[in-house]
Structure 1
């Protein structure tokens, strides 16, 4: 008997292709299980990686509609836990033992593992049959992707046309050519605040995560919006990104690149929003290329001739309002000093 949607699909395709040879009379339907002696039944099911909704998980929890474990049952794991799934697989095995079943998994004494992945020679055969112009290995740890890359090189592929990407990397497909972009997409886990039903705090948690991992970079520029020109070269300040004293050359180069981009941008009339976008789109790819980190970039624009005058007025008014009142004697003493 076969249980689990993916397992049923695989067996069905295998039978149609002639790879799996099983007679119709040898396959049991769920309803026939109850009328067949246990010693004559073998069940193939999904859930070898501890997936919570798979057939084996429901069998172990006692919630499966058709299968209930007995002390005389034997469960065989013909798979290895994928790195990261060990804890969930161990939970399933523990539940199976609690049900009284005998559980066999791969160990020093038993070699039960049947791989679901192609071997290196099979991968080479696939590459030689398809003859791809571009190749991007997927699904696995970085070391596995690099080994798959080497396999492609061994078959004669151009190393420059093989892309080993991390989550968030972007490939551009244009005019039958493939290029790797300097831009990155935040393709990692999304954290949600359980107390916020609107989901608005998700952006806040995302920013906290980026700040914790990559830090912050502020770009301060002074402009004259009336004359549409930059009054001084941008100043870059960072927190939690790089140690300033050891990265002076990086900061100076970043300031130069941002300044050149802004000079080009402000040859024509522009808005504050466009200036900020120009700073981000110039600085973010540069910093990632140099450091492999994506800090939060905050542009700070000082509209010098207007904003600075207003700030000065506010500060003067604020100072006058808080100036202490002196007695006549104190006033004379201050004048003498």
Structure 2
């Protein structure tokens, strides 16, 4: 699942387009999930709508998050919980699971062995040497697989442009405690709803400063409930309270843990910034954005920061304090892995084009021949044959937009219309013509929205519309084509006179 960007207005979620496997769903033997972050499991219920009995494999925590999400869609998935060191046979695929460290508990890498060779997929990972849960990335398993022979290494590219090693999670705890200790009123912390480690650090810091914590947001409450039940989240006695109880507590004894760190319009923090939430931001409140910026979300996040600051809050974020560290391996860690595994072929995954290219360059520096590094986008078909990975074709795939209750109804053309409406405005023209002569009987009536000029500016175009219609009818233009005549005339005029390209909706009525 993807987050919508600025050029996709009104979209809530972006899902993969499953149509390319719609007629082959019976060939799917299983879906293997590396971890429980939303961008890796968010579309699972939509796939299960097409075939509900596809087996899902993942760690205990990952499957618990998936099952809770599927329950909201009234789906009970068929699941098999696996753990590091476990090997499962799925049709022609033998999958071995390897522990990796990430910003969510129970993340796994997967080694897939087939007759064609062995593929090692890291999932999202880093090499934190002092993880909060004590669960290290299993480099010994990586080395063992490398000695056996890894034919294709598919490796997380998110931080490939970042030099060195990713900072340890433990360095965040003292910063959170310091910020919380200096806060005089309420503290609101925004994070991903699945970031169990960060929520744990907030609970510990709140306990140290004798504050109560309330979880805000449906997904935050759901996921932390799952994490607590499974023992991944340890809540100090008496710290966690219901959000309704916060109103009766002094401001300097309150911490609110909410969603919305990426500026999502319907998330709790964005609504607080817009004064559209039961929690009202007041002067003296401290807001902590405990996450990094996902590329494409910058404008939305800064909009939220400005809104919170305008309301009098002190906003602490990764740009002015170390309140977040990445969950992804930096360039030094990636190079370390290449040298341990020594793969025959490499295919960078999980990142934008610039991240994939940077990761490819690291692979080449480690000794992988350039011709054995595959750079592929969504839909590209890669075959592994005789120890070589090659691009052999592509399938048509794209995005499915979730907009409110509709799934897949919004198209790229609809989004283009929304962008035009938002950026250029809207002009409607209603005109009644004599079907025999083409003369204008009534109108043209012109109404505009989102256009800065006053109504009088359209006076000069009315005679041009009338003349064009009369000429078109005389030339044998049909009624259905007259609307296009009006659209062209008004479009040329708006481009030259207003220097704008508004959406133009003509209505021509024949009398």
**Coarse TM-score class (shorter-chain normalised):** 0.3 to 0.5
**What is the TM-score when the length of structure 2 is the normalising length?**
0.31
Q: Which has the higher strand share?
A: 2
Structure holding more helix per residue: 1
Relative to the length of structure 1, the TM-score reads 0.44
* Higher RCO, 1 vs 2 (CA within 8 Å, ≥6 residues apart): 2
